[in-house]
Structure 1
């Protein structure tokens, strides 16, 4: 392997860690903080969903442009910069409206994740794509975990402002490191004819696994990333306990991300792993609102972590199977836009059901969606296996 490729393989993961640290360091305390400044559950659901809105709108155009231009460095650069500016807004306007605007910008930043993934997986041959996907998602989760660790240590003493400052700093360092990335000369310039690559979005396998990712990301954004923190607070959990729950969740995500890129997991295959982990995610949604004990709630955080580490990486690699390299960014853009729809709508409806009914009702509906994912993935692999005989 060429020396410059090895250097990029080391530098890009470092940028990924900083990027996701910037995007998620404030997340464990976002819901309790906003509720403490008198933001309603309905408005909170809209704030949480705003993160997915810009992703839903931008990811397909970003994917098309990345395929057309053939250069990912500047998309990555705009992502790290936007992550930093978003938290600057949170710091300067620390209320619901500031967080709404910032989450829209954070969603724009996350839209650039396409280029992070396509650039990194492009370093590896086709047979190593699941391993490469697992590795880059591992770095994603390491960034989030490190953010959660620091936030749990600092929030009690310094509040939301210190978390925003850490996010600003990490995004700024990531931006500086991105300038050091070297990339081969691009294909050319973007034109309207580039949208011809959108026909890849009709690929049936891509559509199916995009919809499954919509369920997985929507459920997790509505639970482990947001409203589960409030359930812990209602059970008497301190700010440290809330932070600890996020840490447990991300330790599980990091550990299972490493497992998903192992030879054993590759050999076991998505056919087994995807339905099983969807079922575990459904169990999580059923158990969380009916569990009165904080230690058990903390232990349950292992389940959504497993969904992040194993399920998401497998859904991503399965969605990208058979996609030609020349339209891979467009396909990834479609995939990420579809699951961004879940990240947008699920928290909004969850907040609405909590306000009008209860946490129990909202979480049971989320469990039902995870069971739909279980059934759909099982049926797909069952029929695929029988048709191959």
Structure 2
């Protein structure tokens, strides 16, 4: 039992280092590239490249992880590539360098499947929602530490220092990952073909919640992780304010992830949280490009923080509910691969709209997409609840329920 607890703590420590390495430079990536005379369209491509690599790799990684029944190697590769990406940023501190580095960071994040599946493997089926929320909480904690460091040191030491810190975190994570042990009950899965693995991707529930996650992650990557910082800068916000706004976002991401695993949260149906948080995100996308007020935009960063903590936790656990353990990595690969499409396409779309129209229009388009996600989730759960009631209840009971 003690060894099991130590392995859990070790993996969570690696998760903190991994996401610190992946995000310590992010709050100032847009403003740095803008000052370096990189166009809004190119910035959108650079941000999108991070997601493209994940679109291509996450499903294959999931299938391979399921077929060999091992996750240690993928955890190790993730840490290595997270550090390597920032080494590229140090050597090539321009648009081209960041484009290459973001592709490598995308490869690193493709390994996140194994981090999650390996960690949730320590818990029973009944504890999966809590386990998912816990690792997302620690994921957000690593980002938070990164944002704190970037806020404190960007003005004084610049982007190069942040990228060096990212590389060092990647190296530290790699060293710790060498001590990860596979679960004792994990065996190489035999007599399951590629076609059987890929068949899980036809699961309607998995597909639906993957698309909702595509919307959530796409909006987050297009706003909080990129163009919102540009809006703040254009309004005259200092680097300190920009950094603090990212910290506020991550603080609420951590708190809301913790809330998502609480008894109070689990007492209410996922329908409430999913539709409600999507609605909040639509409000965020309308307010941020409209108000022209730094304090209001600063406080609005609370809303995407809630989205990252509560919404992503629920979308992940809801997507995995009908997935057998033998295909969990494949399903997770499909889920994360689909939402990576949003991370790739949405910033490119917003960047293009900003170039040819305005950033405000781009945010309004995202608001409409968020509302669509809320409406779709309500329709899904209404139909799902009806399908449960009809087969199991006599006609008299159905009439009473109506």
User: If the length of structure 1 is used for normalisation, what is the TM-score?
Assistant: 0.98
Alignment partners' CA distance in 1, 2:173 and 2:67: 25
**Over alpha carbons, which structure has the higher Rg?**
2
Alignment partners' CA distance in 2, 1:105 and 1:179: 21
Unaligned runs of 5+ in 1: none
The alpha-carbon distance between structure 1 residues 369 and 190, as it changes in their structure 2 partners (threshold 3 A), is: farther
Paired position in structure 1 for 2:74: 75
3-state secondary structure, aligned to 2:364: helix
- Give CA deviations for 1:67-100 in whole Å, capped at 9, x if unaligned: 0011100000000000000000000000000000
Any conservation in 2 of the 1:137–1:257 contact (CA below 8 Å)?
yes
Paired position in structure 2 for 1:39: 38
Paired position in structure 2 for 1:24: 23
- Give CA deviations for 1:33-62 in whole Å, capped at 9, x if unaligned: 001000001111100000000100000000
The alpha-carbon distance between structure 1 residues 191 and 342, as it changes in their structure 2 partners (threshold 3 A), is: farther
Paired position in structure 2 for 1:132: 131
Alignment partners' CA distance in 1, 2:273 and 2:366: 20
Give the alignment of 1:1-389 within 5 angstroms: 2-184=1-183, 187-188=187-188, 193-389=193-389
Measured after TM superposition, the shift of residue 188 of structure 1 is 3.5
Alignment partners' CA distance in 2, 1:155 and 1:3: 41
Alignment partners' CA distance in 2, 1:89 and 1:161: 11
Any conservation in 2 of the 1:8–1:182 contact (CA below 8 Å)?
yes
Measured after TM superposition, the shift of residue 190 of structure 1 is 9.5
Unaligned runs of 5+ in 2: 390-402
3-state secondary structure, aligned to 1:290: coil
Any conservation in 2 of the 1:257–1:309 contact (CA below 8 Å)?
yes
Alignment partners' CA distance in 2, 1:294 and 1:191: 59
Any conservation in 1 of the 2:16–2:142 contact (CA below 8 Å)?
yes
Measured after TM superposition, the shift of residue 195 of structure 1 is 4.7
Tell me which moved more, 153-162 or 177-186: 177-186
- Give CA deviations for 1:220-276 in whole Å, capped at 9, x if unaligned: 000000000000011110111110110010001000000001111111131210000
User: If the length of structure 2 is used for normalisation, what is the TM-score?
Assistant: 0.95
3-state secondary structure, aligned to 1:38: coil
CA RMSD of aligned residues (A): 1.3
Any conservation in 2 of the 1:48–1:103 contact (CA below 8 Å)?
yes
Alignment partners' CA distance in 2, 1:342 and 1:365: 14
Alignment partners' CA distance in 2, 1:54 and 1:221: 15
The alpha-carbon distance between structure 1 residues 366 and 230, as it changes in their structure 2 partners (threshold 3 A), is: same
Measured after TM superposition, the shift of residue 164 of structure 1 is 0.2
Alignment partners' CA distance in 2, 1:263 and 1:160: 42
Any conservation in 2 of the 1:65–1:194 contact (CA below 8 Å)?
no
Any conservation in 2 of the 1:77–1:179 contact (CA below 8 Å)?
yes
3-state secondary structure, aligned to 1:298: helix
Any conservation in 2 of the 1:214–1:342 contact (CA below 8 Å)?
yes
3-state secondary structure, aligned to 2:37: coil
Tell me which moved more, 80-89 or 178-187: 178-187
Any conservation in 1 of the 2:189–2:326 contact (CA below 8 Å)?
no
- Give CA deviations for 1:282-335 in whole Å, capped at 9, x if unaligned: 000000000111111110000000000000000000000021000000000000
Any conservation in 1 of the 2:66–2:189 contact (CA below 8 Å)?
no
How many residue pairs end up in the alignment? 388
